[in-house]
Amino acid sequence: MKAGVRGNSLPPGCRLVASRTIGEQRIYHLQLENGLQLLVWEDSQSPVAAYQTWFRVGSGHEQPTRSGMAHLFEHLMFKETKKRKAGEFDRILETNGIETNAATSLDWTYYKENLPSQHLALVMELEADRMQNMILSQSQLDTERDVVKNERLLRVDNDPDGKTQEVMYHMHFGRHPYGHPTIGWMKDILAITLDDCLEFHRRYYAPDNALIAVCGDVQVQQVAALAHRYYGPIPRGTGAPQPRLRRHVPKGLYKQMALPVTMGKVQLLYEGPNAGHADTTVFRILSELLWGAESSLLREQLLHRQQLVTDVMAYHAPFRLAGAIEFQLNLAPDVTHETAFVALQQSLREFVAKGVTEKELEGAKNRVEMGYHRSLLPVGSRARGLGHWQTTLGDWRQLTQILQRLGGVTAQQCVSCVQRYLLDAKPTRIDVMPSGAEVAE
């Protein structure tokens, strides 16, 4: 059995917060004096590691009139530092076979490297460098703004589904922190200044607003020593303001949009449980029972039996401040939007009336279990799970407790959640019509 780490085997200024054993592997939660948190999942099965730097800042932290800042800044992080010229960061990583990328969401921004594990020190030195020594210039901002404008054209302005989703979140959340798009409104992207970027970096890119998730062929003492060396000297920030958790009351708004699509669609957004709410586990099961599997209720009813749609997709997104349950119904020819929507509601009512059998529940749990095991095979997915849960909820153990929580979900809970979140609520709804169709005002 592998020996665990003790507080006195860590470098000074680095403390062990918690640890947990999973099979023959171990996860450690450490913290430096400057507030930087480290999550280390040791696994020596393959000579690789995933290294991820998570910041507690996403588009939900922006003012609604300054949208797109977190995302544009993510692009700028790959530019220049006091030590390294523009482009050098990527070049050094790629020369060593290290893949790098980043992503911004509503609650967080993260930067990732997939590396051959012998390059851990190199990656930590480079990441610590850009956390504290970043340099920005107007020309870099201008070029990267053009790239982001193109990204917006690609993902939103020339993509009917992207466009609909942007409008739907805005209708649903209004002036709530989730009401503006992560990529930003085009006018806001154009208005971002160099000073905005510098202020954003100063406010949010500090060690006490960040955490490092490392998974793979590494030793916790090694990670701690390198963190102490490279990140230890970075001073704490001045405090990163976090948006308050507040009750959001959706108004059940409705809109029609004419877009260049071949077939009509119904897009729905219901308020769902947010991250950490006990009902999020129930929705993992419900996603299998209602829409995720070929034999799920809505695919069986709307797609196969009634043939009202050519596809039905849905997704539960448990963000930090609020949850969203999205549906997309792609209409079959000659089926009206209202017919499909009414059929969806009718199917959900029948689900509540009939209930869930023990066998259906067991099958759904089996599928979630399979998905969970499969998703945790690559080191990158595990690091992402640790980083996501710790950043969103301050509780990385959520990742390791999923199956345990799942076991406790009952058929009655499934029925109650459908009633409460989907039948008793009025969704935000957009009916997408093919261009040329008549759109009601």
Partner 1 sequence: MRQYHVLNQSMGFVATSWSFPAGSSLDPPGLEGLAHLSAELALRGTARKSREELARELEFLGCSPAVEVGVESAHFGFECPTRYLQQLADLLHEVFLEPTYDQEELARLKRQLFGEMAELKDNDSAASNLFFGQALYAGDPYGHPIRGYQKSVERISVDDIRAFRQAHYARHRLLLGVAGTCEQSEFNQRFETVLGHFPQGQAVELPALLPHAVDGLDVLLVTRPGRTQAQVTIGQRAVPGNSPYFTPLRLATVGFGGTFTAPLVREIREKRGWSYGVSASLLAGRRSGSFKMRFAPKNSDVLPAIKLSLKMLNALVQSGPTEKNLQFTKRFLVQQYPFLVETPLARLDQMLHIAATGKPADYLETYCERVQAVTVPSALEAVQTVLSPGRQTIVVLGDPSLERPLAKLAGVGRFRTLSVEWDQDVPR
Which residues contact partner 1 (rule: CB under 8 A)?
A: 23, 46-48, 78, 87, 90-91, 94-100, 114, 116, 119, 142-151, 153-154, 157-161, 260-263, 293-295, 300, 303-304, 307, 309-311, 330, 332, 359, 362-363, 366-367, 369-371, 373-374, 377-379
Q: Can you point out the beta strands (E) in 260-391?
A: 265-272, 309-318, 323-331
DSSP states of 85-113? -TTHHHHHHHHTT-EEEEEE-SS-EEEEE
Is residue 135 within 8 Å of residue 89, measured between CB atoms?
Answer: no
Letter for the amino acid at 111? Answer: Y
Closest CA to 432 of 298, 179, 255, 302: 255
Is residue 430 within 8 Å of residue 167, measured between CB atoms?
Answer: yes
CB-nearer residue toward partner 1: 116 or 276: 116
Is residue 285 within 8 Å of residue 279, measured between CB atoms?
Answer: no
Closest CA to 161 of 366, 169, 236: 169
We find the least distance from the C-beta atom of residue 151 to partner 1, in angstroms, to be 4
CB-nearer residue toward partner 1: 37 or 100: 100
CB-nearer residue toward partner 1: 376 or 425: 376
CB-nearer residue toward partner 1: 245 or 377: 377
d(CA 328, CA 299): 12
We find the least distance from the C-beta atom of residue 281 to partner 1, in angstroms, to be 17
We find the least distance from the C-beta atom of residue 266 to partner 1, in angstroms, to be 14
Catalytic residue list contains 288: no
We find the least distance from the C-beta atom of residue 86 to partner 1, in angstroms, to be 8
CB-nearer residue toward partner 1: 295 or 410: 295
We find the least distance from the C-beta atom of residue 397 to partner 1, in angstroms, to be 21
- DSSP, res 301: I
CB-nearer residue toward partner 1: 18 or 153: 153
Q: What are phi and psi of 436, to 5 degrees?
A: 100, -25
- DSSP, res 422: I
CA distances from 379 to 22, 123, 132, 221, 403 (A): 14, 16, 27, 19, 19
Can you name the residues that pair with 4 across neighbouring β-strands? none
Letter for the amino acid at 391? Answer: T
CB atoms within 10 A of CB 7: 9
We find the least distance from the C-beta atom of residue 412 to partner 1, in angstroms, to be 21
CB-nearer residue toward partner 1: 190 or 377: 377
Closest CA to 112 of 51, 34, 163, 167: 51
Which residue out of 42, 62, 74, 288 is catalytically annotated? 74
d(CA 242, CA 204): 10
Q: What are phi and psi of 68, to 5 degrees?
A: 90, -5
We find the least distance from the C-beta atom of residue 304 to partner 1, in angstroms, to be 7
d(CA 345, CA 426): 11
Active site members? 74
